[in-house]
């Protein structure tokens, strides 16, 4: 993110740079807050009041955003929110509760990405040059791309991501894959983030979904 800003600094005014940064962080807050709220909401519906008691049953970004995670978003374009704590023992149905809580954030991000992709696509048909529209277009673009990135990345079956927790909900406690991931998942995650693997993942997988969504909205023109 910060390198991208340096590249654009010679082409944008100070006000446009501020609008760009505001659009980016607003989109990050929306994507991450919606993701974590979904976990809290589904856990509550499944019978666990832990998220509500900890103040996580809200869309207020201040309840979910991690300062360090947000800083990493600024520096490297990837970060995290504070995870929602749940007590699966309170779920009405243990396995179903774990599965739905795990997948809820991903589904929410996909839905948001789909909606914002449409809004961004149709905004391209307009061509005003004022600062507000500059902010709006980048805001819609970031809401689209960040939600897609969060959804697809969290689908990876690597501890502690949601994809792993979803698979774990159908496995026995001593499953070899689960045991391996709980032991080495954090190392695998670090390798993915500090190597070109993440860039390739973002470019091809996320880029492919962007093309798919834009193709869908293009059917209406």
Measure Cα distances from 73 to 22, 118, 185, 212, 216 in Å. 13, 24, 21, 26, 29
Structure tokens at 150: 């969060």
Reference 85, options 112, 62, 63; nearest CA is: 63
What is the per-residue pLDDT across 113-133, written as a single tens digit (0 to 9) for each? 999 999 999 998 887 788 999
What confidence tier does 8 reach under pLDDT thresholds 50, 70, 90? Answer: low
- pLDDT, residue 70, reads 83
Q: Rounded to the nearest 5°, which phi and psi values hold at 81? A: -110, 175
pLDDT at 12 over 90: no
pLDDT, greater one: 66 or 195: 66
Reference 32, options 100, 111, 108, 85; nearest CA is: 108
Structure tokens at 106: 């991903």
Can you tell me the distance from the alpha carbon of 187 to that of 168, in angstroms, rounded to the nearest whole number?
18
Average pLDDT of the residues of the chain:
89
Enclosing H/E stretch for 75: helix 67-76
pLDDT, greater one: 172 or 127: 172
Helical axes 67-76 vs 14-45, angle rounded to 10°: 130
- pLDDT, residue 10, reads 66
Express as a percent the part of the chain with pLDDT over 90.
Answer: 64
Can you tell me the distance from the alpha carbon of 112 to that of 142, in angstroms, rounded to the nearest whole number?
11
- pLDDT, residue 5, reads 59
What is the per-residue pLDDT across 29-43, written as a single tens digit (0 to 9) for each? 999 999 999 999 999
Express as a percent the part of the chain with pLDDT over 70.
Answer: 95
3-state secondary structure 76-124: HCCCCECCCCCCHHHCCCHHHHHHHHHHHHHHHHHHHHHHHHHHHHHHC
pLDDT at 99 over 60: yes
The arithmetic mean of pLDDT across residues 103-120, rounded, is: 96
The arithmetic mean of pLDDT across residues 96-110, rounded, is: 96
The residues pairing with 65 across neighbouring beta strands, listed in sequence order, are 81
pLDDT, greater one: 55 or 80: 55
Give catalytic residues, as residue numbers.
36
pLDDT at 192 over 80: yes
């Amino acid at each position: 993110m910060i390198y991208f800003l340096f590249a654009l600094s010679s082409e944008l005014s100070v006000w446009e740079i501020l609008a760009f940064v505001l659009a980016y962080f607003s989109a990050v807050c929306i994507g991450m807050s919606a993701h974590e709220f979904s976990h809290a909401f589904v856990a509550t519906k499944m019978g666990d009041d832990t998220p509500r008691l900890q103040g996580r049953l809200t869309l207020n970004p201040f309840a979910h955003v991690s300062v360090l995670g947000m800083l990493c978003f600024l520096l490297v374009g990837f970060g995290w929110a504070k995870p929602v704590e749940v007590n699966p023992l309170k779920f009405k149905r243990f396995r179903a509760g774990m599965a739905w809580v795990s997948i809820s954030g991903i589904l929410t991000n996909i839905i948001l990405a789909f909606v914002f992709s449409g809004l961004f696509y149709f905004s391209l048909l307009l061509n005003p040059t004022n600062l507000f529209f500059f902010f709006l277009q980048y805001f819609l673009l970031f809401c689209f791309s960040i939600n897609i990135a969060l959804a697809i990345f969290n689908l990876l079956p690597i501890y502690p991501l949601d994809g792993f927790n979803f698979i774990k909900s159908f496995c026995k406690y001593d499953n070899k894959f689960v045991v391996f991931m709980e032991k080495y998942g954090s190392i695998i995650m670090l390798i993915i983030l500090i190597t070109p693997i993440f860039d390739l993942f973002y470019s091809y997988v996320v880029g492919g979904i962007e093309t798919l969504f834009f193709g869908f909205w293009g059917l209406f023109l």
